[in-house]
Structure 1
Amino acid sequence: MTDPRLTSARESSGRPLDAGVSQAIIDSVVDITLAHGLREVTISSVVTAAKTTRPAFYRRFKSLDEMLLFVVNSRATSFNASDHGSLEEDLYAVQLVSVERLNDRFLRAVLPYLAYRGMSDGSCMPLLNREFIGPFRDTVRSALERAVDRGEISQLPNLSEVCNVLSGMLVPDALCSEGSRDLTERDARRSAQVAALAARLGPSDG
């Protein structure tokens, strides 16, 4: 795997990364998580299952958290900022990707841990923003800016409020330990409709 996120400073040795080893690490993380739970995922267990070494791991990832975020994103469709003709359709496209991600069993196992780490460990938050939260917010921002340009809304609403509506209508149903379920296109559509309505309200007074 030659994803640029696996390079940067870790290329200082001058040797190219072995794509087969990278894929073995990723596959091992997923297999261990789905078979035994995230608590069994350690650097030692991963390199053993992948038949590789700790130095090989650290050439690719700085930490376990960075590895988990990379694997999450490697398994999911990227957010697409294309113009779909209207605010609702743009947000619907965002939510279809969110539904796909949240239906992934690996992500469901990992996301609560990553959210906890983001709140409790300041060093993890830049990774969450770069790899997971940032692309989502950037795509929603682009959709809102296009809506202003089209004249659908008179001014940019509060980005965080719109994002909270979009995520808040999906995440509880996907991740609650009691009553969690697979999300559907209907969930994507309904959340996009509600978020579009919220955007038309404009920025809150707060």
Structure 2
Amino acid sequence: MPARKQALNQGGRPRDSRVDDAIASAVLVLLAEVGYARLTMDEVAARAGVGKAAIYRRHASKQEMIFDVLVSGQFLSVAPDLGSLRADLAAVLAEVADSMASPPPGTVPGLLADIHADPALRDRFDAKYLGAQRRTLTEILDRAAARGELPTRPDPAVLNALLVGPVFAWLYLLSESPDQLPALTSALLDSALALIRR
């Protein structure tokens, strides 16, 4: 069966990456211009130059659209292997901090509030974002234990909270500058490593 015909049979017309790119670009521009709460599907469609149907074929809601744009499919898809526990955790923390600091102000808190109000979206967030972090941290900790850097492997969920919680608090509870994140994450790594090596 020709590839195009097969694609049609498996779910309609083949996805056009140019439409995906136009939607993603429109979402990012509008988040910066009008903010998370005021962004609408109509505005995204108009800015992207596509019909709303094209958006709804890809995303069931505004929240899912923004989540898919902000959390790419490649988020922490491969655990870094830089030769030491600290270097590996530093690479993970840098990617996590960037994913929190990059969106325009107000986006992450607003999206998280909507995610926690929608069980289906919460499940997707857990699988695609938190799940990626936990899998990567588990692999890093297992490798560190095998190298003899850790006496026992700590709980990846606890380490996840130790690393991510302070970054979230810094950016969204204390409203501090993202420019200071490198100094914060360095201190976080020192503290987290001291705790998990006990």
Match of 1:24 in 2: 22
Contact 1:174 1:181 in 2 (8 A): yes
Give the secondary structure class of the aligned counterpart of 2:71: helix
Match of 2:131 in 1: 134
Contact 1:26 1:71 in 2 (8 A): yes
Match of 1:3 in 2: none
2:171 matched to 1:174? yes
Give the one of 77, 93, 96 matched to 2:94.
96
Give the TM-score of the pair, scaled to structure 2: 0.85
Match of 1:146 in 2: 143
Deviates more, 1:144-153 or 1:178-187: 178-187
2:45 matched to 1:44? no
Match of 1:71 in 2: 69
Note the C-alpha offset of 1:167. Answer: 0.7
Between the two proteins, what is the percent identity of the paired residues? 24
Note the C-alpha offset of 1:11. Answer: 5.6
Contact 1:88 1:192 in 2 (8 A): yes
Match of 1:5 in 2: none
Q: Which amino acid aligns with 1:135?
A: A
Note the C-alpha offset of 1:30. Answer: 1.1
Deviates more, 1:27-36 or 1:152-161: 152-161
Contact 1:65 1:114 in 2 (8 A): yes
Match of 1:59 in 2: 57
Give the TM-score of the pair, scaled to structure 1: 0.82
Match of 1:165 in 2: 162
Give the secondary structure class of the aligned counterpart of 1:39: coil
State the alpha-carbon separation in 2 of the partners of residues 174 and 67 from structure 1: 23
Match of 1:116 in 2: 113
Structure 1: runs of 5+ lacking an equivalent: 1-7, 202-206
| CA distance 1:179–1:115, change in 2 (3 Å) | closer
Contact 1:87 1:147 in 2 (8 A): yes
Match of 1:12 in 2: 11
Note the C-alpha offset of 1:78. Answer: 3.4
Give the secondary structure class of the aligned counterpart of 2:45: helix
Q: Which amino acid aligns with 1:180?
A: E
Note the C-alpha offset of 1:186. Answer: 2.3
Give the secondary structure class of the aligned counterpart of 1:152: coil
Structure 2: runs of 5+ lacking an equivalent: 1-6
Q: Which amino acid aligns with 2:142?
A: E
State the alpha-carbon separation in 1 of the partners of residues 188 and 122 from structure 2: 26
Spell out structure 1 runs of 4+ moving beyond 3 A.
none
RMSD of Structure 2 on Structure 1 (CA): 2.4
Match of 2:189 in 1: 192
1:62-116 Cα deviation digits (max 9, x unpaired): 2222211111124x9732412222212211111111222222133x432212322
Q: Which amino acid aligns with 1:12?
A: G
Q: Which amino acid aligns with 1:18?
A: D
